Structure 1
Amino acid sequence: MSPSRRHFLQLLSGLAASPLAAAEAAGLNISAASKYVASHKGNALFIKQHGKVIHESYFNGAKRGEARRIYSGTKGFWGLAAMAAVEDGLISLDEKVSATLPSWNEGGKKDIVIEQLLDFSCGLERCLRLHQDGLKDRNQMAVDRPLVGTPGRSFIYGPSPLQVFHEVLKKKLTGKWRTESPTHYLERRVLRPLGLGSQRYLADAKGNPLLAAGFLMTPAQWARMGDLLLANGRPVLKASSMDALLEGSSANAAYSFGFWNNRAAGKPGAREIDIEDLLEVDWDRQNWAQVCIAKDVPQDLIACIGSGYQRLYAIPSRGLVIVRQGVNASYSDGQLLRTLLG
């Protein structure tokens, strides 16, 4: 065999062994996706397929192994904890909140159920002040918020419902036979099975964490949530529990328990939107009918969405987990995903 022929075959062998080359050959345009992330104030692009890391790159001064804020990506971990509590018999989704919180026994709050807290359809004022540091009791602040929407019909995205859920879970875990805090329950039932440790909880003076945000994670750490989504809940939940968790509500079929779905993509009238932009609009002017994360992308796409376009995407039909971290930019979910998937 001639030296030139041998050199050519060695090059081919090297490309076949390269995760990037293999992914490109499988139809993933990782080079173009990386350029898109880098040019839109991204810090990291991390991709796994079928459980293996096939790409990770860092931009704009970021380095491998750095933990960054995932903002509302935090919500999904507490959503898993809520469904774990259902599996463990601590709560039921159709249980009235007023059964645990007597102050909700009167007025429009008395028939609100736990599931409506978790899919943000309970109608409670969102109260962004709950994000602040130095609060004495953010749970009580949330419990005291007034109703501004119709329970079951109004999607109001904000921290109040989750803090009310935390108060319910705290009372369930501190009964006669239990002395576990919700944070310890989260760590035992969700974080440790995913190979994750304790997180930044931003607790108030009474030790109540902020459920809506706060976690810091590397791309590889956050990707473990994606692994769970590909595995339909394992190793934390049963498949049936995961199906219920991702169902969506009549107020917003695209959201539930901290997760956004793409089921409307490809349907007549589907509307690809910038979810972060729509959440900035007053809740009573938002339109969530037939919204999708990205058109021309698999409908089984699931996303965790954090401010500044922190993104975790899972596409079970392609065995893909994708993490984008960075800062606020003119970024598009659809543009990145269509670029990557070719």
Structure 2
Amino acid sequence: MVRVLAFLFLVTAALALDPLPPERIQALAAYSNAHGGHALLIRQNGKTLHESYSNGHTQNEPHRIYSGTKAFWCLTAFAAEKDGLFKLDDHVADTITEWQSDQRRSKITIRQLLDFTSGLEPLFGLHQNDFKDRAAAALKAPLVGTTGKSFIYGPASLQVYHELLKRKLREKEQTPIRYLERKVLGPLDLGPQRYLPDPKGTPLLAAGFMQTALQWSELGSWLLKHEEIVSAFKPGNVNRAFGFGIWNNHAAESKSAREVDVEDTLDKKWHAQSWGNACLCRSAPADLIACLGSYGQRLYIVPSQKLVIVRLAKDSKPNDAQMLRLLFANTR
């Protein structure tokens, strides 16, 4: 009887979802097309509401998702914690033992690497495919901010995380790439990705993956089924709109919410960035989370509406607030 009631509750909840108005979907599609859009996919409760490809692009064409890559690697941290490899609040120096003698580095936690509050210089040069040794450079990255109090977006912290995971997996005769494929990509029915290894074989964690709209949407659909993971994307204390490679719209429910152009803000030096009360769009649901990649690559997920939206593009000036307002204005 309990199982029957639970099933009926789920069915009722699914039927209660308000579908997005077709005219709003068409407005977003038109906007996307006019601003360099290549693909737009909208799925709600597992059903495709809209799928279109424009400006000469097709369904089966993979696109660079740039920083959308980060979330996949960050998911390995939750798998590793579940497997008992570490806890997110462990100190990095417990594994990266060469940091133990450094008074400041020894205080950095794994969580701070993944919410970008470690204080490490970003080292954007690590993005280069011919960088000789990403791990060595990241481990020696200068501490330019205050650990736990400075949000510094960039590849260095993620490359330190890769080295930590590599050392944790060594005794199990596994590699971080293989672990990613088994624990994250496999459950999403995704195969090996574009890892952009350096000459030492170390992949780039900050970018590199190429996926179709349908492939990237699988991450959104998977997260909708795993609320415990979504709730674990706890943002850092400095930038409450970001954590573990995922941006969020939580501040939208506050009267003091401030729409922020993420890419414009990230173009500034880290110490000149302002993230107080930041949200993506005041009109969009506060539970919206997103993966944001350069040039308008977007994966939006709205758990309360069982909604997944993927946009692939070559957009020199993506505007999250405007795009989301086209869908959600006056619907909250």
Query: Would you call these one fold, judging by a TM-score over 0.5?
Result: yes
* Residues 125 and 131 in structure 2, CA contact (< 8 A), matched pair in contact too: no
Which 5+ residue runs of structure 2 have no aligned equivalent?
1-17
1:43 is the counterpart of 2:31: no
SS, match of residue 75 in structure 2: helix
SS, match of residue 49 in structure 2: strand
Amino acid at match of 1:221: Q
SS, match of residue 43 in structure 1: strand
1:79 is the counterpart of 2:67: no
Which whole-Å CA distance do the structure 2 matches of 1:225 and 1:96 have between them? 29
SS, match of residue 168 in structure 1: helix
* Residues 27 and 341 in structure 1, CA contact (< 8 A), matched pair in contact too: no
Bigger CA radius of gyration: 1
Q: Percent identity?
A: 49
* Residues 295 and 318 in structure 2, CA contact (< 8 A), matched pair in contact too: no
Match 2:105 to one of 100, 104, 109 = 109
- The superposition leaves residues 296-330 of structure 1 with CA deviations (integer Å, 9 ceiling, x where unpaired) of 11000000000111100001111110011111333
- 2:274 paired residue number: 287
Match 1:268 to one of 239, 242, 255 = 255
Amino acid at match of 2:189: G
Return the offset for 1:28. Answer: 6.0
Match 1:54 to one of 44, 49, 53 = 49
1:151 is the counterpart of 2:138: no
- 2:15 paired residue number: none
Which 5+ residue runs of structure 1 have no aligned equivalent?
1-21, 234-238
- 2:117 paired residue number: 121
> Structure 2 length normalisation: TM-score?
0.91
How many residues are aligned here? 311
Which whole-Å CA distance do the structure 2 matches of 1:44 and 1:172 have between them? 39
SS, match of residue 308 in structure 1: helix
* Residues 28 and 341 in structure 1, CA contact (< 8 A), matched pair in contact too: no
SS, match of residue 193 in structure 1: helix
Which whole-Å CA distance do the structure 2 matches of 1:250 and 1:27 have between them? 39
- 2:14 paired residue number: none
> Structure 1 length normalisation: TM-score?
0.88
Which whole-Å CA distance do the structure 1 matches of 2:231 and 2:26 have between them? 34
Structure-2 change in CA distance of 1:317 and 1:28 (3 Å): farther
Amino acid at match of 2:140: D
Deviation >6 Å, runs of 4+: none
Which whole-Å CA distance do the structure 2 matches of 1:28 and 1:250 have between them? 39
Counting only pairs closer than 5 Å after superposition, residues 1-342 of structure 1 correspond to structure 2 as 26=21, 29-105=24-100, 106-175=102-171, 178-232=172-226, 239=228, 241-244=229-232, 246-341=233-328
Which whole-Å CA distance do the structure 2 matches of 1:28 and 1:96 have between them? 51
- The superposition leaves residues 175-206 of structure 1 with CA deviations (integer Å, 9 ceiling, x where unpaired) of 2xx10000000000000101100000001112
Which whole-Å CA distance do the structure 1 matches of 2:59 and 2:231 have between them? 34
Moved more, 221-230 or 155-164: 221-230
Amino acid at match of 1:133: N
